Structure formats: structure tokens, C-alpha cells
Structure 1
Amino acid sequence: MGSRRSVNGWDAVVVGAGLAGLACARDLGAAGLRVRVLEAQDGVGGRMRSDLVDGCVVDRGFQVFNTAYPQVRRRLPLRELRLRPFTPGFLVHTGRRRLRFADPTRAPRQALRGVGGGVAGPRDLAALATLTGRDMLAPAALVRRARDTSTRRALAAAGFSEGFVERFFRPFLSGVFLEEDLATSSRFFHLVWRSMARGTICLPAAGVAAVPELLASALPPGTLALESPVTALTDDGVVVDGGREVAARAVVVASSPTVAAALLPGLPLPPYRTVTTYYHLTPRSPLREPTLVTDVRRRFTNSCVLTEVQPGHAPRGYALVATSVLGADTAGRERTLRDALAECYGTDTGGWELLTARTVAEALPAMEPGLPLSRRSRRAAGRYVCGDHRATGSVQGALASGARAAREVVADLAGA
């Protein structure tokens, strides 16, 4: 690509308006560069989209929003999202009853009551308080430099009993990592646990799509072009929709992993996890509190009554239940899931209406031990890539990857 300003006036084209692409575009614009964002879909957000289905707010896959991420605090006026929190801790169904796990650093009395109720022994409760306090207070740089192993090994080294790991960590973290074996990088686990301890897990009033939409609203007018799929890269920019060329000095590919691999042959990508979320509508809430429910038998990763968190997610007089499972939607799976939910919520689910099911095929990258927490974005002269596959599978990772790509583009164009 040439070193002079393109004939169309664009210093950089960003391919994709997910979190990484929006963060990158915003930082490039703040550096004084003229930026064009090309998005194939009819809205921003990538995997972080919300739909209105029969009057219900349905996210494309169950997602929550963590207020503690540094990139979130830096970029977003949180008040505008109208956030409402989940209960700290969660409920786990053991097969016979629901046990409540309370965060000992936030609700010590509830946590201590759990010792007598068989939730955790004194050893496990002490180890949980120590782990949470250390991750919450330690500098993030220290956590990132720690020796990396699997999460399962790290939990054993922290002094947790195998029974507690199976009752507490494994059901809960399967919904965070989208894998059941606790094989995810312990460094990433500690960073996630740190963010949960320092922040609040919430839902925006308008669904998770409000997050990328708020980021996009800060872009200068004329920056974003929707329904503009990039089909190829050229020496001078990109080709849109198989015909029109858009010239730019630099191109940042911030698209889905599949599209990124097609546009940048040879791009290394980790395996991706798939998750499906089933949305059920019911006249009565099966749980009168905004709390996540997990299942020791791992028939689902988590379930919650969304309308207990955000009442506006369903029409008045109805409750909306979201339940996520690993993998794709298959024949008969929803029927089996209803049986599990009936047991876990202690109610008849036969009359629940299946509103919709949302499968996200590239929901989260696999993050095994040895995971680089950040990768260079530069792939070749004038070509860059960003996304959660270049950092960590989280809102923080996507935003940080976009920010890194912007820094590299600015530095390269300044020296051209």
C-alpha cells in the first residue's frame, strides 16, 4: 500500500464493526486519522447483538456485562446503559436441591451460613476468600506474569477440595469458558476472577447490543457504512461486495474469525467454542430473584430469569428465562432441557413457550495454558488484524486488541 493519503481520503479502513473494530476506529480517529468502518451486517456489534422477538429483548447468545474491565471504564459512560445487577454469587442445583454460593468478600454472613448448609467446608471457604482477595488486590501485571497452567491445576494448588471444584467451579466456569474440563489458561481464569471480584455483573436495559451501539455513537458522522461486506484486500485498500474498491493507506481486519482467515490467508486462529441459548417465555417467574443458576450434572451451563434482572426484557405479565448449553441446537435437545429446568426450578415447564434459540458458532476462542494475552496486530505492510482471537475471549480482550491495532497503525503511518 502507498504511503500517501489515499485518493478517497481514508487513512485507514476497518473491516468489521464489532467491539474490536469500533475501539480501533475510535482510537484512530482520536489520533487525527480519517477512518472508514465497513460492516457486512445491518448493525454494529458482531456477536454482541440483540433482537426484539415478540416484544422480548433477546441477545444473540446469553451474555452479561462486567463493569470492572479497564477498557470498559475508559470508553463507556456506564450510566447511559441503564445497568441492573445480578445477585453476587449464584445457585447450583445438585440433583436434589439448590445450594447458594455467596461471595465471602461481599456477603460473608451468607457465605458462613453456607458452611452449615453443606455448601462448602471451612477449608474451601477459606481458600475461596484467599483466592478472591488476592486476585482482587494484586496488580493486574502480577497476575499476567504468573506461571500458566490449567485452571483445574491452579484450583487444586490453591487448596480447594475436588468435591468443591465439582460443585462450585466446574458448573460455573463452564458457562464462562464454554468448556467443561477446566482446561482454560489459569492466567486468564485469574484475570476473569479479578474482574468479577472488582466489578458488578449486569445487563443493559436494551440488551447487550447497547454496548457496541454506544461505542459507535461516538464515531464521527460518515465513518460507518453498514451492509458493506469486504470480499477481498488489494494493494490499495479493499473490495466491497465483490466490486467497489475503497482505497486506504492501512486496512485493519476486525471481522469474525472465519472472515478474517479468508481475507488474511495463513492467519493462525485458535479453535472456537459454540454455545446455544434457549429463551422461554412463561406467565410466572420460576425464581423471584436476579440470580444465575448452574447445574452440577452440567445439562446446561447457566440459566436465569432475565426479567428479574431487567423487567423490560419481556412484556408486562411475562417472565423471560434464558438457558445456555454448550454446542449447537440439535433435535430433541430443547425437550430434554425442559426436563432439567423443571427439576432445577422446581416447577412444571410443560407450558413454557420456546420463544427462540440462538446458536453462536464462534462464541469464544479456546484459551489453553501458554495463552498469549496480547498479540501484535501487524500482518504485513499496511495490513493489521484485531479481535478476541488476538488477545483474550472477553469484552476487555476485544477492546484491548482494537486499541493495540490502532497504536500500531498510528505509529506506522507516522513513520511512512
Structure 2
Amino acid sequence: MRKTDSGRYDVVVVGAGAAGLACAGDLGAAGLRVRLLEAEDTVGGRMRTDHVAGFTVDRGFQVFNTSYPQVKRRIDLKALRLRPFTPGVLVHTHDGFYRFTDPTRRPRQSRDLLPGRLVSGRDLLALGALSARDALAPASVLRRGPDGSTLTALAEAGVSPQLVETFFRPFLSGVFLEDELETSARFFHLVWRSMLRGTLCLPAEGIGAVPAQLASQLPAHVLRTGSPVGTVTPEGVTLASGGEVGAIAVVVATGQRAAGKLLPGLRVPGGRTVTTFYHAAARAPLAEPVLVVDSRRRFLNTCVLSAVHPRFSTDGRALVSTSVLGSPGPTETAAVLRALDEVYGTDTTAWELVHRVTVPDALPAMSGPAPLSRRTRFGPGTYVCGDHRATSSLQGALASGARAAREVLQDLAS
């Protein structure tokens, strides 16, 4: 079989998503000879951005959280030219909009949290205790806590079923991409902590700017795109094109399904599928850069992206993003547009659908109880990392990539 690269690498990393980029970066910084192979034409995995009809659209609605420890360690936030969402969300109910926000950030916008409006007095106390604990406690304490489902955790915190149905289920369905609130309770607490301590933003060039920045930090000639891997062997990897790349160690940093195919016997979680619609409107139906959720759960969330970052539209029209679970057919799609008509209080019939993207396995399922981190060693000289080996988040992907690098370095040193 012909050789694709001369010589033999210390490590071949398969997949240039967030986990693979972090792993390759750490290994290269340690002085190892690394080859990073990516099947697509650019880096990012699920963190991709496209330019369609003059609009900047991500591969599914995504936000960037500034509070993640791995983000603080690896990313130049200023270079991303971030624009924030308004803290909190607007909840659309039968009675109109209610604002759920952090009163410590926007006290003047917190009147809907007064007892008798969105929450009861008992819920307000429960929310205060829950948020104070999650925001102030060390992350290690939350990681060691008892685990179960998010739904159970909210009940144990004293949150009423009414508030769960009005706010938490509609909001968290868009975060976890599942509407049963079965996601790990420990992960919920960590996510709630990150939202209380950080800021949700969008980069000027879309979410793809994040992996692009990580790729720019790699040593020269490490990354090779357009190189899908066919198999993992004891000598390295073979490419789908028929060549091979030799290496002492191989790190599989792909999504869970691809990892399961490359590493037979690897147990992988199921995935959550989401579809995002991008509509162009002559006028912005909402001028505020805020996330909107629906208490009737006709969609996961919607927002005017061009209100968050004007660069997302080049012709003056507003760009509206709306996400739903799964891959809806024509009937469900029409129902979503009717729901937007009601929620935004405007006629949506003239809106132009400029892009629709369905992302299978957009997030790995994390039904509780679930481990928050898994070892990356799979077999002799073989490792696996990604958000499916940690938490379903950018933080989880980066942390898993960093752990793979540490375990490779330990094994090669010994």
C-alpha cells in the first residue's frame, strides 16, 4: 500500500473538530510530530458556518459561552469580535411575553420575576437558592453531586411543575435538544452555572470562527483537510483514498457514530437531531438581540440573528433563526411558520426561507445518571475523544481533547 506521508508520526489525530484541534494543539506544543486529518474541506466538525445568499448561517443555531474554562484557556475572545445576547430569554405564553432574566445583571428588566407574574413566591425562593448554589459553588462540587435527571433535580430544588412547564422545559429543550428533561442533573447544574457566570455571544464571522482560530494556532503542516480515514490499524491509519499514514499512536476525535465505525466495540451514546430554519424578513420582527422560547413548545427557540450581529446580513434584511427537534416534514414546517406569526405578532407569509439545515447527532445524548468524563484510552496506542466522551458542549469537547493529549503523552513517556 502506498504511503501518504513520508516517515512515521508520533500521533495521528482523526477529526479536526474542537476535540481534535485541542488534542493536536497540545501534542504539538509538547514537541511531538503530529498529523491532524480532517475528512471535510475545513475544520470545525459541527461548528461550521456557511455563507448563503448574502447571509451568515451556522450549521444549526449555536451560541458561544465565554465562561467555559477551556475557552478562557485557548481562545482570544477579542479576536472573535463577539456580540452578546440580552441576558435571559423571552418566554411566549398565552398571555404574551414574559422576561426571564438574571436580576443581578438587569434589575430593571426583572419585574416579570416578581411573585404572581412568571413565578410564585415559593418558586422565586427556590430559583434564588438553586442559582446561588450553582453560581458560587466550585465546579468540582457540582461534578461530585448526586446524579439523575434534570427533571428530578428541579423538583428536588423546589421548582414547581408550573414553572418547569412554563420556562424550564421550553428553554432547556433548546439547550439539551430533548424535551423530556432526562439529561444528567449534574450536567444541568454545570450548564446553569456557566450561564449565570458567563455571557452568551455570537462571533462576527459565525461559530466557525472558533475552530478556525484553534486551527491557526497549530504548528505548520500539521493539518490536512479532505482526507477521510477508512480504518485504524496497529501501524496508524489507512485513508479512504487508499493511502496510509503511519503513527505510534492514533487519536480518534470524530463524532460518536464515526468513532464507533473506526473503533469496533466502542460504546457510543445516541444523538440528538435538530433542524434550523433561516428566514429573511424585510423588517426585524424584534429589534432586541434576545432568545425567544415558546411555552407551547412549537419550536425550541427563535431569535433575530441580525439583531445580535448586523454582519450576519449584507442586504439590510433581518435574518431570523428558528430551531426544532428532529427533521420536520412539510406539515410541521408550515406549523412552525404559523407559530412564528403568532409569537412575533407579524405576517410571516412574505418571509423568505434562505436556508434550512438538519444536523443529525448535533449533541450526544446525556441521559442521567451519566459520567461527566471518560478515559480516552481505547486500546494499545489507540485513543478516542470528543464531547461524547465528556459533556455535550464545547467545554466537554475541548476538555476531552486535552485529556487525550495528556494520556498519549503519559503513555509515550513510559
Q: Report the equivalent of 1:375.
A: 374
Whole-angstrom CA distance in 2 between matches of 1:105 and 1:195: 15
Q: Report the equivalent of 1:143.
A: 142
C-alpha contact 1:105 1:129 (8 A) present in aligned 2: no
SS of the aligned residue for 1:294 comes to: strand
Whole-angstrom CA distance in 2 between matches of 1:270 and 1:215: 26
SS of the aligned residue for 1:248 comes to: strand
C-alpha contact 1:387 1:402 (8 A) present in aligned 2: yes
C-alpha contact 2:100 2:112 (8 A) present in aligned 1: no
Specify the code of the residue in structure 1 equivalent to 2:191: V
Q: Report the equivalent of 2:85.
A: 86
Q: Report the equivalent of 2:245.
A: 246
Q: Which moved more, 1:100-109 or 1:165-174?
A: 100-109
Using the TM superposition, give the Cα deviation of residue 336 of structure 1 relative to its aligned residue in structure 2, in angstroms: 1.2
Using the TM superposition, give the Cα deviation of residue 163 of structure 1 relative to its aligned residue in structure 2, in angstroms: 0.7
User: Where do 1:194-233 residues align within 5 Å?
Assistant: 194-233=193-232
CA distances 1:25-69 after superposition (whole Å, capped 9, x unpaired): 000011110100000000100000000001100100000000000
User: Where do 1:33-52 residues align within 5 Å?
Assistant: 33-52=32-51
Whole-angstrom CA distance in 1 between matches of 2:70 and 2:365: 22
C-alpha contact 1:232 1:242 (8 A) present in aligned 2: no
User: Where do 1:13-412 residues align within 5 Å?
Assistant: 13-115=12-114, 118-412=117-411
Q: Which moved more, 1:127-136 or 1:391-400?
A: 127-136
Using the TM superposition, give the Cα deviation of residue 168 of structure 1 relative to its aligned residue in structure 2, in angstroms: 1.1
C-alpha contact 1:184 1:367 (8 A) present in aligned 2: yes
Gaps of 5+ in 2: none
SS of the aligned residue for 2:114 comes to: helix
Specify the code of the residue in structure 2 equivalent to 1:30: A
Q: Which moved more, 1:117-126 or 1:359-368?
A: 117-126
CA distances 1:153-193 after superposition (whole Å, capped 9, x unpaired): 11111111111111111100000011111111110000000
Specify the code of the residue in structure 1 equivalent to 2:347: D
Q: Report the equivalent of 2:7.
A: 8
C-alpha contact 1:342 1:348 (8 A) present in aligned 2: yes
Q: Report the equivalent of 1:3.
A: none
Q: Which moved more, 1:394-403 or 1:159-168?
A: 159-168
C-alpha contact 1:173 1:182 (8 A) present in aligned 2: yes
Q: Which moved more, 1:186-195 or 1:242-251?
A: 242-251
C-alpha contact 2:8 2:248 (8 A) present in aligned 1: no
SS of the aligned residue for 2:173 comes to: helix
C-alpha contact 1:149 1:186 (8 A) present in aligned 2: yes
Using the TM superposition, give the Cα deviation of residue 9 of structure 1 relative to its aligned residue in structure 2, in angstroms: 3.8
Specify the code of the residue in structure 2 equivalent to 1:25: A
Using the TM superposition, give the Cα deviation of residue 117 of structure 1 relative to its aligned residue in structure 2, in angstroms: 6.6
Q: Which moved more, 1:7-16 or 1:170-179?
A: 7-16
C-alpha contact 1:20 1:402 (8 A) present in aligned 2: yes
Q: Which moved more, 1:273-282 or 1:328-337?
A: 328-337
Whole-angstrom CA distance in 2 between matches of 1:239 and 1:104: 55
SS of the aligned residue for 2:286 comes to: coil
SS of the aligned residue for 1:11 comes to: strand
Whole-angstrom CA distance in 1 between matches of 2:104 and 2:180: 26
Using the TM superposition, give the Cα deviation of residue 235 of structure 1 relative to its aligned residue in structure 2, in angstroms: 1.8
C-alpha contact 1:104 1:129 (8 A) present in aligned 2: no
TM-score using structure 2 length:
0.97
Whole-angstrom CA distance in 2 between matches of 1:298 and 1:109: 28
Specify the code of the residue in structure 2 equivalent to 1:344: V
Gaps of 5+ in 1: 1-5
Whole-angstrom CA distance in 1 between matches of 2:47 and 2:357: 12
Using the TM superposition, give the Cα deviation of residue 110 of structure 1 relative to its aligned residue in structure 2, in angstroms: 2.7
Q: Which moved more, 1:67-76 or 1:155-164?
A: 155-164
C-alpha contact 2:115 2:124 (8 A) present in aligned 1: no
Specify the code of the residue in structure 1 equivalent to 2:208: A
Specify the code of the residue in structure 2 equivalent to 1:227: G
Using the TM superposition, give the Cα deviation of residue 274 of structure 1 relative to its aligned residue in structure 2, in angstroms: 0.3
Q: Which moved more, 1:130-139 or 1:209-218?
A: 130-139
C-alpha contact 1:81 1:205 (8 A) present in aligned 2: yes
Whole-angstrom CA distance in 2 between matches of 1:128 and 1:45: 36
C-alpha contact 2:113 2:124 (8 A) present in aligned 1: no
Q: Which moved more, 1:309-318 or 1:206-215?
A: 309-318
| Fraction of identical pairs, as percent | 61
Specify the code of the residue in structure 2 equivalent to 1:164: L
Whole-angstrom CA distance in 2 between matches of 1:294 and 1:346: 14
